[in-house]
Chain A
Amino acid sequence: EVQMVESGGTLVQPGGSLRLSCAASGFTFSNYWMSWVRQAPGKGLAWVANINHDGSEKYYVDSVEGRFTISRDNVKNSLYLQMNSLSAEDTAEYYCARAGGVGTVDYWGQGTLVTVSS
């Protein structure tokens, strides 16, 4: 069974940093692109970043470029999101998702909540 479990979400002060993790299982992790998608409270879905199979290609939405870093460890079957210079606008549920083909994601984790507040 394909499963992704996110962790690391918590309350953090503005300007702070946080690292999210996503533990994947039930599939050959190294074969898939992976994504981070976020959802602000009561709002819609918004793409954050994508990473290719071996981590050599990374894409970010403009609003996080230079502040967030997506990475992966194919030995540990894990995806990460390092978030720096956090602001209230980054408050959201962060989902890890598997890119199960071109132009799509097919499985999502349960999400981890990041709250940026003083």
Chain B
Amino acid sequence: DVVMTQSPLSLPVTLGQPASISCRSSQGLVHSDGNTYLNWFQQRPGQSPRRLIYQVSNRDSGVPDRFSGSGSGTDFTLKISRVEAEDVGVYYCMQGIHWPWTFGQGTNVEIK
């Protein structure tokens, strides 16, 4: 299985400050169609996951533009430009090209 490795696993952030989460895959995520199927999900406490980003950098409708995704090959990053209180939760990267699809361990974002 493709292993998705996130860092850090815990991320205390001051309100209004930026945050960055790294995700590294054990295999490349570029499909034969040329697209890279790397997603980011947010799971707020007590809630279901919510997709934020698909195909590395495409933000879902309704997702604030302070969230951005980047990367290529096997190295990807989710950035929050200015953390707000509602951003507290666990963030997961997920690859959707090799079966079984796999998630990273999750990064717990909390406010300092």
- Jot down 19 A-B pairs with beta carbons below 8 A, ordered by A: A44-B106, A45-B43, A45-B49, A45-B92, A45-B103, A47-B100, A47-B101, A47-B103, A60-B100, A101-B54, A103-B37, A103-B55, A103-B96, A104-B37, A106-B60, A108-B48, A108-B50, A109-B48, A110-B48
B48–A104 contact, CB under 8 A?
Answer: no
Contact partners of A60 in chain B: CB under 8 A: 100
Best-surrounded residue of A104, A109, A110 (most CB of chain B within 10 A): A104
Contact partners of B33 in chain A: CB under 8 A: 102
1/0 contact string of A75-103 vs chain B (CB within 8 Å): 00000000000000000000100000111
Q: How large is the interface on A (under 10, 10 to 19, 20 to 34, 35 or more residues)?
A: 20 to 34
1/0 contact string of B78-112 vs chain A (CB within 8 Å): 00000000000010101111011111111000000
B54–A104 contact, CB under 8 A?
Answer: yes
- Which 9 pairs across A and B sit closest by C-beta, in order of nearness? A103-B96, A103-B37, A108-B48, A61-B100, A45-B103, A44-B106, A47-B101, A47-B100, A104-B54
